[in-house]
Amino acid sequence: MTGQRWDLDVEGRHHRVEADGSTRHRVRWYVDDQLVAERTAMEDKIRLRPSGDAAGHGLGAVLVRFSTLGTPRRATRFPPDEALDVQLSTGVGGTDLVPECGSKAAQHDERMLAHPTRYTVIQTAGGVATVVVPLLVAALLARVAFSFDWPAIPWPDLPDLPWPEIRLPGIPLPNWSLPGWVREALGYAKYVWPVLLAFLLARAEIRRRRTQRAVR
């Protein structure tokens, strides 16, 4: 189990978030050393709201993110305002808590900001994997399926059904079709957009981290 801690002072109050990374993630949120929220879940994004006596104290909310492998990556605190539900749902806005010095989350931040190009390449490679891996698996399954001599499946001889004949009025419809290069581009789009999206998200995350460091 991997432990992680973040801290942040906001308006004279000290916020501390602790998370354990495993199959089930346990997250605890403390304000001035008082536990205000706790949750255990298997999600990679865990949202916390104050409960009990702390619910009406205007503390806002916290969003903790985990990597695909279950490592705690980031804790973000959102202030109590009208857009809190939207911000907590989308993860946009808020202020990142500072990861404990020397922790895995801190090392991840340092590597990302010190080597933004490498981080972008890694994230983009993940986008490529989402395209290539399903194609390889589909090709492998097809090859295995066609390698077997499957027995013929008897199909019952069903009677023909008398479908009604529908006559449409003789309205001339325009005879047009998309240019060949457009059809070809649309065919490749489903393979290109995951890679492009991964690249854009990686660049946006680097800019966001730099902004958060400047704010803190």
Q: What number of other Cβ atoms are within 10 A of residue 212's Cβ?
A: 17
DSSP string over 79-129: -SSTTHHHHHHH--S-EEPEEPTTSHHHHHHHHHHH-HHHHHHHHHHHHHH
* Cα(203)–Cα(193) distance, integer angstroms: 15
Average pLDDT for 135-152: 70
pTM score: 0.63
pLDDT in tens, 36-48: 999 999 898 999 9
Kindly list the domain boundaries of the chain, sorted by start residue.
2-99, 115-144+180-216
**Residue 46's pLDDT is what?**
94
Q: Report residue 19 as tokens.
A: 């998370």
The answer for residues whose C-beta is within 8 angstroms of residue 27's C-beta and 6 or more apart is 17, 18, 19, 20, 38, 39, 40, 46, 48, 62, 64
**Alpha helices, DSSP H, located in the chain:** 84-90, 104-114, 116-147, 180-215
Confidence check: pLDDT of 116 > 80:
yes
Coil/strand/helix, residue 40: strand
104-108, 110-114, 121-125, 151-155 — which is least confidently predicted?
151-155
The answer for residues whose C-beta is within 8 angstroms of residue 212's C-beta and 6 or more apart is 95, 96
**Residue 1's pLDDT is what?**
45
Q: What does CATH list as the number for 2-99?
A: 2.40.128
Q: How sure is the predictor about 207, in pLDDT bands with cuts at 50, 70 and 90? A: confident
pLDDT in tens, 167-205: 666 666 666 666 766 666 666 667 677 778 778 878 878
124-142: buried (b, 16+ CB within 10 Å) or exposed (e) per residue?
beebeeeeeeeeeeeeeee
* Beta bridge pairs of residue 28: 18, 38
Q: How sure is the predictor about 151, in pLDDT bands with cuts at 50, 70 and 90? A: confident
pLDDT in tens, 68-78: 888 888 999 99
Average pLDDT for 95-118: 87
Q: How sure is the predictor about 33, in pLDDT bands with cuts at 50, 70 and 90? A: very high
Which segments of 22-71 are extended strands (E)?
25-31, 34-41, 45-48, 61-66
Coil/strand/helix, residue 33: coil
